[in-house]
Structure 1
Amino acid sequence: MSTNKNLNRLALSAAIAGILVSGTVMAQDNAQPQGTTTTTPAPATTTPKNTQQAADAKNVQTLQQVVVTGTANGGLKKIDASYSITTATLQQIKEANPKSAADLLKISPGVYPESSGGQTGANIEVAGFPGGGDAPYVSFQLNGSPLYPMSTLSFMDNSSMFRLDDTIERLEAVQGGPSVLYGSGQPGLTANFILKQGTGVPSGDIGLTYGSEGMERLDGFFGFKIADGWFGSIGGFWRKSDGVRDPQFTADDGGSLTATLSHDFDNGTIMFYARDLKDHNQFVTDTPILNPSSGSFSNYPGFSPLTGTFGSKADRYETIQTTPCNTAGCTPGGFPVDLAKGRGADLHMAGGNLDLDFGGGWSLSDKFNFTGGQMNTISFFSTGANPSTLASYISGAETADGLPAGLVATANYTNGGAANMNENVNTQGLWYVHKEISSASNEIHLSKELFDGNTLTAGNYTAVYSDHDTWYLGNSMLLQAQSNPNPIVVNLSNGTNSYALTSPQGFASGSSFALHEAWNAVNTAFFLADSWKVDRWLFDAGVRIEHQEANGTLQNNASGDLDNNPNTLYNNGSSYLINSYTTVPYSKTAPSWTLGANYEFNDNMSAYVRVNDGIHFPGFDDLRGLPSTPVQKIHNMELGFKYQADWIYASVSAYHRLFYGVPYTITTDTGQQSFVYDSDTKGINFQTLIKPFEHFTLALGGDYMDGHYTHYLTCVQYVAQDGSNQCTSINGMQLQRQPKFQARLTPAYDVPTSWGSMRFWITYEYVGNRYGDLIEQQPLGNYYDLSFGAAANIGENWSLTLQGTNLTDQTGITEGNARLFGFASSNGVILARSIEGREVNFQVKYNF
């Protein structure tokens, strides 16, 4: 661990601890009851901190809660919202015990995050949205502004840019509906995180957490009054962890610091925030798993799907060759890489919200955000080849390279010792991606109440953003097919000629794809929306016209021998950058619209109907591969019902989602296949929380969906189980990676005591059958897992929490072999990725 990293860690820890200690002193000096934090600075309540937390945990969801996401002006009660919205307080977020920001989204019915690769890089599926990987239909917002205007770039989804901590007040997650009008116009899921702000009475918390995977974490928050009408807050976290999949070095290392400054005017508020995130995370893709029959999976010898990783001390530090040299025996140019850097974030964000009421029915709202930094990746990625014996691998390589007969192989581990020719080996690509991003966005709403109950809103959203990338993919390394492997060095000789099958570090190939690109884009949208309250009816309608203009400059590449030595086989066909460039211009305009109606039967029951058309502009990666990529069109129809009583909260919606012009490209070892298709999905989302008797609640949420591909006019090539080449249509096939049925059931029980309170809960999660590909050749089966929690609030200040995930160590496959199209199991073995194994953590927190 470097000196700089230790200094950064100590500085962040000291900053949080120092601020919180001073906050404790200030709170004690004030000698006043504890306060709560809200979206708008408000007078402190007299509710003790732990009592309030217990109340938050017990409360049945309320339809009277005001939400701000997906609204044209100000806020809207949930009972009046004619769209699907899921909310969670900070306490409810913690009880969900999410492994990452992406994993939290499973509380929104129909959302399936594949949070099996670590803290970052999750694939997130929204039922009926044919993503098939990454997270193109999920956008993250901070206080109403998008973290980055494009929801997904290669090696960067929005969730990877965000970490959960005590600076968050609540989550509002909206599926479709009026979200097509605002912000980045996301037709899928918009996850809006609202930050805590300071209050009139200083308050906050400091917590220490230890996890069974060697995790140590410090959390804290402090909100305070600066002067009359001025409030501030600061908080964040620092964490290090070996990871459930221990790579023999720190798997997760970093933290975040967030500050806010807010001011109350006579006719409104203004709030500024700044957030700094620096976090490095191990990222894990496919590992070998036994696959004896369709949908059945078990441990591969020497490699647990729950705790195994190809990271190790032996392969942590490597040097990638990138630049050819011209003389025989020369050393190609390159640079060192460190697997501990992983797939992390080094980001700086700043923004703010302005809300003003001018009187006479006029009001204005403005949100702005600036984001800049790096989202880099240094990780192993599967090459697609299933494990084989070392002897078989060498024999196959000799044939593929056309080498003469009679060669004798010598194989050694890079850390010393002769390798066993009968042991199983696997190749993994050590991919390097340097990604530098920046963005600035602003959204302004100007509203006017035209007459009683009717408000018209006009506005503009503009985003200017860039992405500069350097990639070196491939770099296939020969490794033992076991967790924490050794790289293997193989040389061949017949006494006359010698051949290096691998480099001295164990690389069996150079880069298969070298890329340097610079993209700049501007999106601007104008929208007009109207809401009209007529007795018990609330109607709303809106239209948006958006224009995207993007320009890319791509450095061209070539392939060849990097060291001018044909006998060093490992770098003979490497991809490298050359001094010529290609430009890619793009300019498109497309409309979105929405129409909804909500009927309130009484104060605790309503029903709604909504129709909307959304769009999804192509991303930079789409344009690089196919500049003529069409703008996707999404048509959504939804019918919903909400009900609340003392003993129940229920929200149910039925939907029909149609997609047109969806692009898809899969990269395999034989090249690329690109598709453009449509899809058709019908489904039901449901959320309910029941209180059958005092102190006990039962929460159930999930969805059923029937989605398939349509209107694909030709067939796609794939390799069948018998090795033959086949061609089939994707029409009628189930949407890739999406379960037809998924559900989560959480019984919870509260125990009041003379010294505070206790709460116990357990969550059963079921994820139904899915397929890893578009042609249903990679069945992923179904799985379940159990998580639990126990919390004790002691007095007014102390809280203890014990939580755990995947208690029974279930194997649950989230993705198949991402480098193969078609049947991927060979001799009962498949490369796939499972959910992580059991993890338990314990937190001690002091609230003040």
Structure 2
Amino acid sequence: MKTSITVLALSTALVSHTAWADSPAPDSASATPSVKGAFTTGVAKGRDLLDTAISASTISDSDLHKIGTTSIAEIVGNIPGIRAETGGTDGRVSITIRGLPLDADGSKFLQIQEDGLPVLEFGDIYFGVPTQFLRSDLATGQVQAIRGGSASTFASNSPGGVVNFISRTGEETGGMLQFSSGLNYALGRVDFDYGQKIDDHWRFNVGGFYRRGEGPRATGYDTFNGGQIKFNATRTFDGGYIRFYAKVLDDREPFLGAVPVQVSGSDSDPHFSPLPGFDPRSDSAWTRNVSSALVLNRSNLPETIDLRQGDHSKVRAFGIEAQFELAGWTITDRARYSVISGQHNETAGQVYIPAAALAGALGVPGGTVSYADGPLAGQTVANPATLNGNGLAALGLQINADINSLNYAVNDLRASRVFALAGGKLTTTAGFYASSQDIDMLWSFNSTVMDFAGGGNSTLLNVTTPSGFPITQGGVLSYSFLGGSGQFKRDLDVRFRTLAPYGSINYQAGKLTLGASLRYDRTQARGMVYGADLGGGRVGVGAYDINGDGVISLPETQTAMLPLSQPASVAYSYGFVSYSAGANYRIAEDLSAFARYSRGGRASADRDVYPPSFNPATGQLANASLAFSPIRQAELGTKFRSGPITVFVTGFWASTKDTNVQVAADTQGNTIVVPINRTYSAKGVELESEARKGPFSLRLGATYTKSKIDSDLDNPAENGLVPRHEPNFFMTAMPQFQTGMISIGANVIGVSSSYAEDTDLLKQPGYVLVNPFVEVRPLAHVTATLNVFNLFNKLAFSEVDSGGVPANGIVNILPINGRTLTASVRITF
């Protein structure tokens, strides 16, 4: 497909391979439209886009290279209507769609799929979001997305939409080998893909990547290390096919989270700038000097955590996909079992203090500050006021989540048939979906004292009283969350089993298409959870000689422990109905219009197994209404296509209720945890367009949204305010000049300002990122590419962790990488 982001409007029953359809799928997971205006993936035959009644998009494999990133979140953020907040890697990202709220991290209302099945059942599992266990490489054939509409009825927990990463399946014999390297940063990568038809019935495809290096932001060591390999084999026969596929992913990357910057000005007109000696565009909180941390494991025994594992993701998956004809019905089944585990490690400052005032802030005025690690370990900081050129220290957190199991089994079975009826065609589909999602995870938090130095040279700091008594131990202030209560030391082992029958009908006669679909989700949650957060007299902190030196230090008196003798059983169930109905009318050859109304739901999973949502005495939810968030949506759109010009415009409205726990910040930047019990609404317009003239082309996607908090039961003062991180306008554009030998263009991303927190005080500036690319084809089968990300080195960020400009002028931001240059050479054969 030539388009970068090509608008695809699909009928009510869209998808077999992409898991949102009511029509039988062809044997082509990576098919692209072979007829202009037709969409062939997931339908019995190509459909003209102007005869369909839903909004969807595709990113082709060729344009994945031009976007210039392999980050799943950043790829998804190039799709109109979808916003992704990420520091450039894929752990704990936040993704939303069409103004639905970003109360927490993950993709609560948007489901991420791989080859037509979800990566995980829930998009916002704490410390284990789907993007962390998915990678894009040369084996990715294309990316498809559906927004709103029947997404709520053809996939579970996906009322906002579905994004599906589709693998190549060896339709054509040949392969690719690509070598990539950062030109102004240290990261090398090798990608490969090869597919072949073995005979008239068998074909296969194998592909993957390996990468290693420090990455675009300084850490002082190789924070990226690992890769994946995927394989599939397909056997075709009369009336169908069967496909076997497998995936092995073992990859680690840093969690490039929040870092400090200076801020001045007012809440409505703030001015942000890098700290002296620490630039968020090229530096990070990771450091060569701090490689491990001590915590207690799930048996309350000491364990050393390797912080350099970062976000370590491990997946072993096997799946089967089959399609065949039976008594006039087309039967399609997809099944996959994934063994998923890993770690999440994070380090970040929470409370910022001038290093010269650090000892006094910790209650020991006149005390001494020294280096806890690194080449100067044990030495006193000679002049704290000039430490690292910025004189800044922080009370910080080391966060570790030991992901023991996110194992996931899923099966989607459907049957479709087309009937002739009253001069038209009636397409019917009936399906049954079943899944089992493990969430087996241990959380640990250490409170630390840290500094911020560029080049991956930050250290932990020790503080002693004037008499020499240590307040810290190896830079650790307490072996628990700030405050030492033992909160958030959690161990949970819960399984969610979901069963969902669904069905649809779609009738097309002449210029009119009508369709409707229905789904019922029933989920059972069973398991055990531990933690002082459960209340009921459970104690979560105590004295423990965690380093085994025979002495209980002051930090060791505040060691987080699990109350192992007081578990709570999880035993609750819930169910909800989703439906969607739409109509499309072909007004003229070049023009059509559609309308749709939908209702869906999104379950809360692990965010519901601790109070206040959960009652540990009964194992039930505190209120049955907390089990899921209902969403209502309406869409009205028009589609125009004439020659080289395509313009699709869709107006939308959405309303949802969300019960959640939000990690927020007050006006001084202090971290607070806010319970969320709200209703939200959003309305807006999406534009997707393409124009071509000779070698020139322009693709443009733009979204205008107005979101608001309709009702906040816990804080009525926020009624009517704009939710945090919800800009009114965002867009993507790709102008391009292309000839047989060269392609020159840019991927441009623009976001308007938004509010940092739900209080609507501190403005979060918008930004425009210009990401040019040049592709040169000097020889047959050889392509050399230069991608430049953030050409003008814009200080841009997707998150500010403060409700106002604080008195100390320091806030945390989630920065977007600065200027990076990546060169690659791709060889086809």
Report the TM range for the smaller structure's normalisation: 0.7 to 0.9
Q: Deviations over 1:521-570 (max 9, x none)?
A: 11111112100011111111011111011123112341122239998332
Pairwise mapping of residues 122-141 of structure 1 onto structure 2 (< 5 A)? 122-134=93-105, 135-141=107-113
State the alpha-carbon separation in 2 of the partners of residues 43 and 122 from structure 1.
27
1:64 to 33, 38, 42: 38
Tell me the distance in 1 between the aligned counterparts of 2:729 and 2:675: 29
Q: How big is the shift at 1:608?
A: 0.8
- After superposition, residues 523-672 of structure 1 pair within 5 angstroms as 523-557=498-532, 558-563=540-545, 568-580=553-565, 581-625=567-611, 626-627=613-614, 628=621, 629-666=626-663, 672=673
Confirm or deny: 8 A CA contact 1:659 1:678 kept in the other structure: yes
CA separation of 1:380/1:230 partners in 2, compared to 1, >3 Å: closer, same or farther?
same
Is residue 2:413 matched to residue 1:444?
Answer: yes
Aligned to 1:115: 86
In the TM superposition, what are the counterparts of 1:92-107 in structure 2 within 5 Å?
92-107=63-78
Q: 1:773-792 counterparts in 2 under 5 A?
A: 773-792=757-776
* 2:6 match: none
Please name the residue that 1:40 is paired with: 27
Q: Which amino acid aligns with 1:164?
A: S
Name which of 395, 410, 418 aligns with 2:360: 395
SS for the counterpart of 2:158 is coil
Cα offset, 1:489, TM superposition: 4.1
Please point out which of 365, 384, 401 is paired with 1:433: 401
Task: Select which of 418, 423, 426 maps to 2:380.
Answer: 418
Which of 810, 816, 824 is equivalent to 1:829?
A: 810
Question: Pick from 469, 475, 480: which aligns with 1:499?
Answer: 469
Amino acid across the alignment from 2:476: F
Helix, strand or coil at the partner of 1:155: coil
Aligned length: 755
CA contact (8 A) 2:597 2:633 kept: yes
Q: Which residue of 2 aligns with 1:375?
A: 342
Report the 3-state secondary structure (helix = DSSP H, G, I; strand = E; otherwise coil) of the residue aligned with 2:544: coil
Q: Residue 197 of structure 1 aligns to which amino acid in structure 2?
A: T
| 3-state SS in 1 of match to 2:217 | coil
Asked if 1:88 corresponds to 2:59, the answer is yes
Deviation of residue 392 (structure 1)?
1.2
Compute the TM-score of the two structures, normalised by the length of structure 2: 0.86
Alpha carbons 2:429, 2:504 under 8 Å: kept:
yes
Residue by residue, what CA displacement relative to the aligned partner does 1:284-342 show, whole Å, maximum 9, x if unpaired? 22211111123421111111020111211111x223142799xxxxxx95222223211
Q: Which amino acid aligns with 1:775?
A: T
Distance in structure 2 (CA, Å) of the matches to 1:605 and 1:257 = 44
Alignment-derived partner of residue 739 in structure 1: 727
Cα shift at 1:76: 5.0
* Residue number in structure 1 paired with 2:16: none
Determine the C-alpha separation between the residues in 2 that align with 1:649 and 1:740.
24
Cα root mean square deviation, aligned = 2.7
One-letter identity of the residue aligned with 1:470? L
CA shift digits 1:12-38 (9 cap, x unpaired) = xxxxxxxxxxxxxxxxxxxxxxxxxx9
Q: Which residue of 1 aligns with 2:537?
A: none
Compute the displacement of 1:511 (Å).
2.0
SS at match of 1:500: coil
1:677–1:710 Cα contact (<8 Å) kept: yes
Aligned residue type for 1:364: I
Contact 2:295 2:444 in 1 (8 A): no
Please say if residues 531 and 563 of structure 2, whose CA atoms lie closer than 8 Å, have aligned partners that are also in contact.
Answer: yes
Structure 1 residues 637-679: Cα deviation after superposition (integer angstroms, max 9, x where no partner): 0011222222212221000111124434337778643121001
Q: Is the 8 A contact 1:343 1:377 kept in 2?
A: yes
Q: What TM-score do the two structures reach when normalised by structure 1?
A: 0.85
Question: Judging changes above 3 Å, is the alpha-carbon distance between structure 1 residues 122 and 408 closer, same or farther for their aligned structure 2 residues?
Answer: closer
The Cα of 1:408 is off from its aligned counterpart by: 4.0
Is residue 103–residue 660 contact of structure 2 (8 Å, CA) maintained in 1? no
Q: Which runs of 5+ in 1 are unaligned?
A: 1-37, 45-55, 326-331, 716-727
Q: What secondary structure does 2:296 align onto?
A: strand
CA contact (8 A) 2:213 2:221 kept: no
Question: What is the DSSP-based 3-state SS (H/G/I as helix, E as strand, rest coil) of the residue aligned with 1:227?
Answer: coil
1:235 equivalent in alignment to 2:199: no
Deviation larger for 425-434 or 532-541: 425-434
Give the CA deviation at 1:237: 0.7
Query: Is the 1:311–1:339 Cα contact (8 Å) retained in structure 2?
Result: no
Q: Which residue of 1 aligns with 2:313?
A: 345
What is the Cα deviation at residue 835 of structure 1?
A: 0.7
Cα offset, 1:785, TM superposition: 1.2
- Quote the offset at 1:271 in angstroms: 1.3
Larger mean Cα displacement after TM superposition, 837-846 or 346-355: 346-355
SS, match of residue 270 in structure 1? strand
Letter of the aligned partner of 1:389 in structure 2?
P
- SS for the counterpart of 1:91 is helix
Aligned AA (1:299): P
Q: Is 1:220 matched up with 2:197?
A: no
| CA distance in structure 2 between the partners assigned to 1:488 and 1:466 by the alignment | 36
Q: 1:196-215 to 2 correspondence within 5 Å?
A: 196-199=168-171, 202-212=173-183, 213-215=185-187
**Aligned-pair CA distance for 1:480:** 4.1
Cα 1:296–1:653 change in 2 (3 A) is same
Decide whether aligned partners of structure 1 residues 220 and 307 sit closer, same or farther in structure 2, where only a CA change above 3 A counts: same
Q: Deviations over 1:709-740 (max 9, x none)?
A: 0122342xxxxxxxxxxxx7211111221211
Give the equivalent residue in structure 2 for 1:22. none
| Cross-structure match for 1:708 | 708
- Partner residue of 1:14? none
1:773-796 per-position Cα deviation (integer Å, ceiling 9, x unaligned)? 111233211111110111122443
Identity of matched residues, %: 20
8 Å Cα contact 1:61/1:689 also seen in 2: no
Q: Per the alignment, in what secondary structure is the counterpart of residue 393 of structure 1?
A: helix
Q: Is the 8 A contact 1:426 1:481 kept in 2?
A: no
* Aligned-residue offset at 1:111: 1.0
Structure 1: which amino acid aligns with 2:446? G
Distance 2:234 2:206 in 1: 12
Q: CA deviation at 1:214?
A: 1.4
Cα distance in 2, alignment partners of residues 428 and 449 from structure 1: 61
